[in-house]
Structures are given as structure tokens and as C-alpha cells.
Structure 1
């Protein structure tokens, strides 16, 4: 399997980042929904948010690496068989997914540091708080965080459904390229 992307398929780094981040995002969504239901006396009441923050920071790093990797190893061009509208829709959806993910991670940081305390990442190192004494910041950021999390889940489900449509209805190589298989119908 090739490391870098080629004109006909994604490389192992792009595929790994894509699928690992997808799993992490859905895991974080589930963890976030679950942890807000915990009572103060639950054993996970303090542990779940710390885990959520640590994974969130690692997701931020992975997102930065993913965007840098896209510059170093450009994604395969759209398939020739795809319409202009399909190409524009796909590009807009990818930009929206990246933008929403960044906004979720930034709002999570603002929630976590509103009291001026740093974020401990798995107890290994701390990410400092840039703002302090911002209680209203935490409330607003929490609302934004929740709505954006739902937004990224809905948009990613649509992304997955579009990939399935390409695979089963259009019978093109959109999905198989993200699984490491070469596409004979490549290029712009």
C-alpha cells in the first residue's frame, strides 16, 4: 500500500487519518452526550470530562496534521464522471466538515479553560488557559459546542450516505479510493 496519495487513490496516511478521526469524532459525540447525564456522585463525573478534553486536544492535533498532509500529499482529483455540481458539493462539504471540527475544538477549549485552569492531556502535559474568569464564555461556548457537534454528526452522516450513493447507485470509485483501491476513472 502506498503512503502518499496518488491521482487514482488515497494513501495509507490519508486513509488512516480519515477513518481514525471519524471513529474519534463519533466516540467523542457519544462520550459528550453520556457525560452530561452523569450525577455528581457517579464515579465518571470527573473522569469523563477529563478524557473528553484529552481526546479533544489530540483530535485538534490530528486535524492540523491532516490539513498539513493534504498540502504535502494532495487528494486525488474528482472523477471525470462526476458533474460540476457534485464536485462543488463535495468540496463545500469537506470545507464545512473541517471548519465545523475546528470550531467544535475551539469551543471545547473555551469551555474547558473558562475558569482559567489549563487542560491536562492524559496527565502528560498541560495546555494553558488563554482567558480567565469568563463564566459567560463557558455557557456560550457550551451551547455552540453542542450545536456544532450535532452539525458535524449530521454532515458526516450525509457525507457517508453520499459515498454509499456513489458506490451503489453511481457505481463509481469514490468510496473505493478511500479504501485504498485505484480508480480507472480519475482526473479532472
Structure 2
């Protein structure tokens, strides 16, 4: 009986070491969610192992999951993430650029941004991005889209597209127009 108990402790030991970081994340998430422009219900974030800038410009919809290792920089432009969006490990989303056109100044010293240096990023509902995806300013990812792992998204894509590559482009559509209609009708019926 004693050896059984010892074996259980040894087996569960590695999982038990995760408890403090889990509890710390829960506490931090409470404050991060409160600092966001909007945070829906049942949003999952891991702030202790992520890098969020400009939380006041970040909106996240219901049931969205943002993993550890996320880098979300909301500059002067908003980042709007819809509901039921899932991200693979280590997504990077940036809503702005540095100025590179100022003669006689280092890029780092050019603090006077122009309106065109920042642009919103919108990720509509039901989007899945794979691991290590980068999404840059001015992009809208249409609802129901899939972004392949490692993609660098610099242009918007229509709903239900599958995009990938560097720079990312539409590879194919998830559904035919008839299937999209059927899919959306079923989604609307389950939400009532």
C-alpha cells in the first residue's frame, strides 16, 4: 500500500508542479481581462507566458482560447478577435509599424507615427490559426477560416478560406457556396 502511494506521487509529481503557474495565470487573467476594451465570457488566456501590449485596444469574443506564448501588440489601432476562435501555439499579431521614412533619425527614434503606420486587425468568429502564425496590420480574417501553421498574413481573406504561406494567400475554400449556406443555417439553428 505504501509503495502504491509513492508510485502515485511520483506519477503525478510533474503535473503537480504545474498547479502554481496555473493559479498564477488565473489571477493575472482576471486583471488582464479587466484591462481589455472588451472580453467575452469563458475566454482563456495565459498572460504569465505571453506578451500583450495595448490591452485597452484588444477585444476578445466569447469562448476564445489564446495560448501561452502569444504576442499581441495593439498599437494605436484595435485588435478585434471574434468568438470561438482558437490559436495554435505562439501566435503573433501586430496592429502597427515603425516609421522608416524619417531622414536623419534612427528608426527607433522615430516616435511620431502617421495614421497609415497603424491599422486594425480583425479576426472574425470561428477562425483557427495553426502554430507560429503572424498576422500583421490591416488584415481581416473572414469567419470560419483556417490559417496554416507558420503563415505570415499580410492581406485580408474571405470567410471560410484556408490560407497559408509566406506571405499567406488563399489556398482553397473550406466549403462550396451551397455548403456554406447549409453550414450557417445549422449554426444559426443551434444558437437559438
Q: TM-score band (shorter)?
A: under 0.3
Task: Indicate the structure with greater strand content.
Answer: 2
- Of structures 1 and 2, the one with the larger relative CO (CA 8 A, separation 6+) is 1
TM-score (norm 1): 0.25
Larger radius of gyration: 2
Tell me the TM-score normalised to structure 2 length. 0.25
Q: Which has the higher helix share?
A: 1
